[in-house]
Amino acid sequence: MKKNILVLVLTLIIALFGKLSAQTPNVLDKQSIIDSLTSIDHEIKKYFPRWKICEPDLQIQIYQTFVFYNYPKEKLDQQSIEVMAAPKEFEEDPYQILVITCGEASMKAVEVETYMGSTLLGFLSGEFIYSGPKRGEVWDKGIAKRDYCYQDIPIDFPLSQSQAETIINYLQPTNVSQAFTLSLFEQSLKIGETGFWVRSIMGNDELGYPFWYTGASKITLQRPLYLNNDPKTSKAIPYLINAFLGGEYRVTSGLNPSSLMSWIPKRKLNNANDGKLVAGVDIYMPFKPEFGVSVRADLPLSKLEEYDIEKDKYGMFSPEDRVIDNGRITEVAPILRSSGVFSLFYNWWLNPKKPENYLRFDLGLHYSEVIELGVAEREGEGNAKIYSLKPGVDGLQTYKPNEFGDWIYAKLEYRNQAVFPFGMSLQYSNQVILGDIWIPLFGNWFYIQAKYSTPLRVERPYEIRNFFMISPLLRLTI
């Protein structure tokens, strides 16, 4: 496979730089391509195995060979000798030397084999033993090694076009016609070239509560409103305004985890049964599209009033030391109500010409409201027990931001888009730390994603000290 890649790369060199001697198509095979090389572009060289020679004896022999064959002395440097080779097909094979460079002068493959001699070439390629009592012999068991002083030069891996594109969100790419991502945390679908996205999200990550932590899921539609006409940034940021609209609904997941999910902490927090409106907008500044403002809000559709429930479908905890002025209250059910985030953000590609490394910074304000409701018990027909949630019970609490740390929202995201794309983020919100990471398992379509959250203060009754969740992540693009 590696040799096939080499042939492709070298053929590209032929087409782009025309550095080959004249040959007929019938004899233009892989070996003739290698033998005909006179130079290799610097951008291509970094994809081949290369190393510097630091063995004094070999430095002298190589330098003297260049001198003997009349290479300009002013271009030679005995202390700067570099070898470039073809990739091995099997580990036990010796390297095939393509180019040897001494200072600014280079020998191509044919010249190397002609001028260097089989013994010196055998030392350099690792075929022959250089040091030890059997100097000059082939290695035992046919395993090639380099036993002289050398320093490997790290190999770069070429980027595929899809990975090298400058995009804001790798899991929601804008550089493709169709995209689909699927995980236990989120499912998203890009609707053709319209710029519309449909997303289904479990949890409230912006509050530091991922997956089933809040007992809520939301479905949103992202719609572009204003086209970005700046040629420098339009590829990464096709629209200057994106609006979000959707709804949030209550789920019962996480109350009694199955044996398969029993390692994930059981939740105590709930969403009310009246549903919520989910709305937001991202605005990128026309004068500097990398910079912008983001607003998100989850707003209840009705006032919270007393209503009957199925007790086994809500997270609860015992009031214990609470002083409650109602004898019918047996337990407490916390309900997440309004929440939202306002932030300034900045997207930064460390090298826009080679956008492997991406950073995003968010800084702003957070708001959330959790209300404790009393679980009241009464008898119905046939002595059946009926449970209801009662707001406004004396002795129960409402949690809102009341300290400086409660208001702060900050997030740092990093993504690498080299051969094996991966990403991670660290968020501070509501005095809760949330970490998120995804890494590839197979190709650039199947990943594993993990999230971990923990409060930095003493956890509230509905919070979980250590919440960890891992999920497979599927990413398909067309």
| CA–CA distance, 212 with 202 (Å, rounded to integer) | 6
Pairs from 314-323 (Cβ < 8 Å, separation ≥ 24): 314/215, 314/255, 314/270, 314/375, 314/389, 315/215, 315/254, 315/255, 315/266, 315/267, 315/268, 315/269, 315/270, 315/462, 316/268, 316/375, 317/268, 317/461, 317/462, 319/395, 322/395, 322/396, 323/394, 323/395
Q: In terms of domains, do 263 and 212 share one? A: yes
- H or E element at residue 33: helix 30-36
Q: Residue with structure tokens 């970005």?
A: 228
pLDDT (0 to 100) of residue 129: 87
pLDDT (0 to 100) of residue 9: 45
pLDDT (0 to 100) of residue 420: 81
pLDDT (0 to 100) of residue 156: 62
- Are 92 and 118 in contact by the 8 Å Cβ rule? The answer is no
- Are 473 and 438 in contact by the 8 Å Cβ rule? The answer is yes
> Which structural domain range is residue 125 located in?
2-153
Final residue belonging to a domain, choices 382, 411, 440? 411
**Positive or negative, the Cα torsion across 467, 360, 221, 444?**
negative
Q: What burial letters (b/e) apply to 79-103, b meaning 16+ CB within 10 Å? A: eebbbbbbbbeeeebbbbbbbbbbb
Q: In terms of domains, do 66 and 139 share one? A: yes
> How many domains would you assign to the chain?
2
Q: In terms of domains, do 123 and 256 share one? A: no
The β-bridge relationship of strands 270-271 and 329-349 is: parallel
Residue 79's contacts (CB-CB under 8 Å, 6 or more residues apart) are: 59
Q: In terms of domains, do 106 and 241 share one? A: no
3-state secondary structure 81-103: EEEEEECCCCCCCCCEEEEEEEC
pLDDT digits (tens, 9 = 90+) for 247-268: 999 999 999 888 788 899 999 9
Q: In terms of domains, do 146 and 168 share one? A: no
In a domain? residue 181: yes
In a domain? residue 421: no
Q: In terms of domains, do 210 and 134 share one? A: no
What are the C-alpha distances in Å from 80 to residues 105, 106, 124? Answer: 11, 12, 15
pLDDT digits (tens, 9 = 90+) for 271-285: 988 899 999 999 999
In a domain? residue 73: yes
DSSP, collapsed to helix, strand or coil, labels residue 258 as: coil
The pTM for the full model equals 0.67
In a domain? residue 424: no
pLDDT (0 to 100) of residue 26: 40
What are the C-alpha distances in Å from 47 to residues 29, 44, 421? Answer: 21, 6, 18
Final residue belonging to a domain, choices 411, 427, 456? 411
In a domain? residue 206: yes
Residue 49 identity (one-letter amino acid): P
Final residue belonging to a domain, choices 379, 411, 443? 411
Q: In terms of domains, do 142 and 183 share one? A: no
Give the pLDDT means over successive 10-residue stretches in the chain (478 positions): 45 41 40 51 73 91 93 91 85 86 90 88 87 74 80 68 71 89 96 92 96 96 93 90 96 88 92 94 96 97 91 89 72 95 96 88 98 89 85 91 96 89 96 97 90 96 95 92
Pairs from 458-462 (Cβ < 8 Å, separation ≥ 24): 460/370, 460/399, 461/268, 461/317, 461/332, 461/334, 461/372, 462/268, 462/269, 462/315, 462/317, 462/334, 462/370
pLDDT digits (tens, 9 = 90+) for 355-408: 889 999 999 999 999 999 999 988 877 778 888 999 988 889 999 999 999 999
In a domain? residue 103: yes
E strands of 301-404, at which residues?
Answer: 307-309, 329-349, 357-379, 385-390, 398-399
Q: In terms of domains, do 175 and 323 share one? A: yes
Q: In terms of domains, do 14 and 100 share one? A: yes
Q: In terms of domains, do 336 and 211 share one? A: yes
What are the C-alpha distances in Å from 348 to residues 158, 359, 436? Answer: 22, 5, 19
pLDDT (0 to 100) of residue 2: 42
In a domain? residue 475: no
Q: In terms of domains, do 186 and 309 share one? A: yes
Q: In terms of domains, do 300 and 355 share one? A: yes
